[in-house]
Amino acid sequence: MLNARFHPAIAELPAATWDALGGGASPFVSHAFLHALERTGCIRPDWGWQAHHLALYEDERLVAAAPLYLKGNSHGEFVFDWSWAGAWERAGGTYYPKLLNAVPYSPVPGPRLLAGQGARAPQLRQALVRAIHAETRRLGLSSAHANFLEPQDLVAFGGEWLARSDVQFHWHNRGYRDFDDFLATLKAKKRKNIRQERAHVQASGPEILMRDGASLEPDDWRQIHALYAATFDAKGNHAALTPAFFAALGELGEQVQVACAIEGRRIEAMALFLQDDSTLYGRYWGSRIELPGLHFELCYYRGIEHAIARGLRRFEPGAQGEHKLARGFVPVRTHSRHYLAHPQFRQAVREALVHEAHAIDDYVTALDAHAPYAGTCP
């Protein structure tokens, strides 16, 4: 008999069991990463985040779990439902709070229904979805959402859950020996442009190093956070991740990588990545200096070099950015699922999503026409 419970802090759940259920497949759903967000002040009700983690127990043994949050807004999700919220509130409803099955501030596909790898895993994932659905109804919420889902999780969301997709740009390792081997697969113009960009940065002065989290000192992390925060401030956005969270990233060791442009002891620019056994994930960038091509060098080219050197299969540099196409990244679908409690509202959104899906299909077709590779796209 499965018993669903909801926890206001991930610290209430055993780290080893949580990580075993997640299969160690993604640093973003690791207990350490999610706990770091909570204990360093990044998850706060006044910022629209309240932990409400779902755990399924069998005879008091944790057998499945899901990172779950009560959301008071739609910030930090990267699957945009502002128009849905506005429509529902204009109709006299209350859209927030809602339930969200996702990783805060992280548009990274990965496991969301943590059920291990055993024969019961599909049934446990379905039980998690039923529990999310039941909790939405119990609390009288407008909706529940699950973002950046993997295929194994998608099948658990059926019936009343609405399907939605979007596009990111990912790089795939086809067994390249080095960066030049990768360049050789690109169209001549793309290859020439990348070489020119890299040569300009190399001739401009800063030393560029890839550092792992454990090798960075507290002052390094303070500088890295300041660069991250300045980037958000310059764009008029809220830098939700705290200095304490960045310092906590160092505890993840080699799972964290930072490409640094250094002059003296000062980090002038940085790009921060996380990685697992198969994938490198680009997360944040910041710079004190104006240097053409530096953003591409740190955020993309150093990441590709690192992925090749480590034998990683994929590099996901983050959300959005058609300019990535010219640098060897190709369009990839991302997937989310959405339950809207009111039947008529759900039907209206379902119809809108049909039109949105056609637009996404057309967009991907247009992107494919501009593929950067000389041969078959990876």
pLDDT for position 264? 86
Distance CA 164, CA 85 (A): 16
Q: Is the peptide bond before 97 cis (omega within 30 degrees of 0)?
A: yes
Q: Identify whether the C-beta of residue 78 lies closer than 8 Å to the C-beta of residue 3.
A: no
Integer Cα distance of 126 and 335 in angstroms: 17
Rg of the Cα trace of the chain? Answer: 21
For 131, what's the count of Cα atoms within 13 Å in the CB-facing half-sphere?
Answer: 24
Q: Give the pLDDT confidence score for residue 92 in this predicted structure.
A: 97
Q: Extract the residue ranges of the chain whose pLDDT is less than 50.
A: none
Contact 162, 340 (CB under 8 A): yes
What is the reported pLDDT for 376?
Answer: 58
Q: What CATH number labels 174-312?
A: 3.40.630.30
pLDDT at 377: 53
In this chain, the answer to whether the domains covering 2-166+333-368 and 174-312 adopt an identical fold is: yes
Q: List pLDDT tens digits, range 212-226.
A: 999 999 999 999 999
% of the chain exceeding 70 in pLDDT: 99
The predicted model scores a pTM of 0.95
Q: Where are the domains of the chain?
A: 2-166+333-368, 174-312
Could you give the maximum distance between any two Cα atoms of the chain, in Å? 66
Cα 33 from Cα 76, distance rounded (Å): 16
**Within 13 Å and on the Cβ side, how many CA atoms surround 298?**
27
CATH assignment, 2-166+333-368: 3.40.630.30
